[in-house]
Amino acid sequence: MKIICVCGLGQGTSLILRMNVENVLKDLGVQADVEHTDVSTASGMSADFIVTSNELAQSLLGHSASIVIVNNYFDLNEIKEKLQEAL
């Protein structure tokens, strides 16, 4: 399974989100290849899931991946809840 964590510029925020997603997946016992990038690059990448904000999700409509919307990239409980719903 491949998961892409997306922010506007693909720098700091998406990296933090990636680390938090990896921690949550580890707790859930789920294996996945997790990457982070900017919204423009993500639109051309293949993935099973894209984790991003509601604002950026609008830019990714039509992507083949399932979009997982997270409001707070630092809230491990929210990330866990949203990923469990998606998986």
Q: Which long-range contacts (CB under 8 A, 24 or more apart) does 40-49 make?
A: 41/10, 42/4, 42/6, 45/4, 46/2, 47/2, 47/3, 47/4, 48/1, 48/2, 48/3, 49/1, 49/2, 49/3, 49/4, 49/83, 49/86
Q: What residues are annotated to the active site?
A: 7
